Amino acid sequence: MKDFDFLFSSLSDENQGDKPPQNLPVLYLVEDDQVLGKIIQKYLKKSLGLEVVYYANPTECLEFLDRKYLGIELEKRTPFCLISDISFSEGSTDGLLLIDLLREKGHHFVSLVMTGFASIETAIMATRKGVFHYLTKPFELEVLSDLVVKALTLKLGYTEDQIRVAVSEKVADSSSQGSKYSRWALEIPTEKDIFCGMIGRSQKMKNVFDRIKKVSNSDSTIMITGESGTGKELVAKAIHNLSARKSNELVSVNCGAIPSELLESELFGHVRGAFTGAISDRKGRFEMADKGSIFLDEIGDMPLLLQVKLLRVLQSREIERVGGRGVIPIDTRIITATHRNLEASVSEGNFREDLFYRLNVIPVKLPSLRERKEDIPLLISYFLSRFISADGRNNIELDDDVLETLINYSWPGNVRELENVIERLVILKGGNIVKMNDLPSKFLDEKSSNIDPYSELITLPENGIDLKATLSDIENSLILQALTVTEGNKNRASKLLSMNRTTLIEKMKKKGLMSPEVTL
């Protein structure tokens, strides 16, 4: 984790410089959308100069307050402001119940609640519980800041001058956001986000990490598929390093980088005099990987003639050196990778069908970077920590439009391309804020071509359209498509639609889309 020392120290220095005065109320923020939660936390800290403590679920907040005020008399407890989402994942206390529990414990506080799906019932319930204000997402951050000030002055007896102690002007950062919270913000990866050198918080990457853990201790042949730059070699290393073979060597061979006439000798070795230049016996990569693992990268580029010999190795677990007469038994775990569609290559006659099924015992598919956009801010932070010097002189900041553009870019080169772009920006723009015109032209070209991505999907009829009904139909269709793709799993469907699971369920109930076969 030492790669992140610079970024951690920067954040620490910033927080220490804005340390609030004593005897001021603390704001406790509870929001399960961690991106939104961190943005709100940062905004309120800067706009109000108050301490803002963030929790991803109500239970953590409740446990912290129990520890903080253990043994302290009620009249000596500092009043606070609670800002909480209403709905959380299944099995967690909801925001309104949290308010009840805090009141039962005698805490003196004022509360504001947020929800992604407003309803009259929840608004009435919140009012009955004495909630100061009920906010529907998305909302303006400035509105939330003003509501906090009003809540603290009207309900807890503070003055506005007491509260706005750290700010002489409204949040400079908010001007670039248009006062609305952005979906994206840079965030340093935590230990939970890092697995064997790979970074990912998205469900697709978590699934990959789980698959690696399950297959590493077997000796089954693995096939890793995914576009170029997605990190297939990192997966192969993780499988080897988590296996019982980790004390022996992992030998890597790029089947597309070695000329076909030399590849056989590289893989299986040769004996002296086997061909011109073979002046001595030489071990091949399979022998080097005995008792360990061999990683055959770009297996789809292997010549057909050599595919036959590899198939024989898989069947017999024996190799024969080029020019040799005897066989050599091997104990090697085989891991392969390709960016090609091997099933299509089989259909086209470029890859042997029997070899494909021998290699594809346990498939591991890596998602492209555009399929896991939520991981891009983590990766950017990680690469910044690698390329920014220890003294921070070449540190860069990304304008909000730049970050949005990087996240929505198609990334044909995936993580490798992102790494190269961040390195280039640090070298060329070190010590400055990166603006849109600092990005390579390909980003601007793609953004301009995506200004109206929906015009080809739907065209306004000459006689007009019922916009409300049409949007509702489109929403219904996307929800049903997500449920179909996930085989009715609401949790996975909600991630595909970038919404909270509880919000999805509420929408489905309202639209009459609930059915017995839809699972949790």
pLDDT digit string, tens, across residues 40-49: 998 888 888 8
Whole-Å CA distances, 80 to 25, 76, 240, 374: 5, 13, 51, 32
pLDDT exceeds 60 at position 20: no
Residue with tokens 């555009």: 370
Over residues 92-111, the mean pLDDT reads 88
pLDDT in the model for residue 451: 53
* pLDDT tens, residue by residue, 135-153: 888 788 888 988 898 888 8
User: Which pLDDT score, from 0 to 100, does residue 252 have?
Assistant: 95
Q: Calculate what percentage of the chain has a pLDDT beyond 70.
A: 85
> What pLDDT sits at residue 209?
96
Query: Is a pLDDT exceeding 90 seen at residue 234?
Result: yes
Query: Same fold for the domain at 14-176 and the one at 370-449?
Result: no
**Gap between the Cα atoms of 418 and 376, Å rounded:** 9
Residue 174 DSSP SS3:
helix
pLDDT at 277: 80
Taking the C-alpha atoms of residue 379 and residue 383, their distance in angstroms, rounded to an integer, is 6
- 14-176 in CATH: which number? 3.40.50.2300
User: Quick one: fold of 203-365?
Assistant: Rossmann fold (3.40.50)
Residue 191 and residue 305: Cα distance in Å, rounded?
A: 46
Question: With 80 as the cut, is the pLDDT of residue 244 above it?
Answer: yes
Q: What's the pLDDT at 292?
A: 95
> Which pLDDT score is estimated for 367?
95
Query: 3-state DSSP call for residue 322?
Result: strand
pLDDT at residue 342 in the model: 93
Lowest-pLDDT choice from 176-180, 288-292, 296-300, 398-402: 176-180
Average pLDDT over residues 18-31: 72
Across the chain, what does the average pLDDT equal? 83
Q: Tens digits of per-residue pLDDT, 255-275?
A: 988 988 889 899 998 888 878
The alpha carbon of residue 513 and the mean position of all alpha carbons in its chain are separated, in whole angstroms, by 29
The whole-number pLDDT of residue 519 equals 42
Model confidence at 39, pLDDT cuts 50, 70, 90, reads confident
Interval 308-337 mean pLDDT: 92
Which is it for strands 328-329 and 318-319: parallel, antiparallel or unpaired? antiparallel
pTM for this predicted structure: 0.56
Instruction: Give CATH for domain 467-511.
Output: 1.10.10.60
CB neighbours of 15 closer than 8 A, spacing ≥ 6? 45
Residue ranges per structural domain of the chain: 14-176, 203-365, 370-449, 467-511
Least confident of 119-123, 312-316, 330-334, 410-414: 119-123
Predicted confidence at residue 1, as pLDDT, reads 46
Confidence at residue 180, expressed as pLDDT on a 0 to 100 scale = 41
pLDDT band at 452 (very low <50, low <70, confident <90, very high): low
Q: pLDDT digits over 70-86, tens only?
A: 888 888 888 999 999 98
Instruction: Specify the CATH class of 370-449 in words.
Output: mainly alpha
Is the pLDDT score of 11 beyond 60? no
Give the pLDDT confidence score for residue 227 in this predicted structure.
94
Cβ proximity of 369 and 414 under 8 Å: yes
What is the SS3 assignment for 76? helix
- Residue 107 in tokens: 């805490």
Q: Rg (Cα) of the chain, in Å, rounded? A: 29
The percentage of residues in the chain with a pLDDT greater than 90, rounded to a whole number, is 39
Q: Cα separation of 463 and 147, whole Å? A: 44
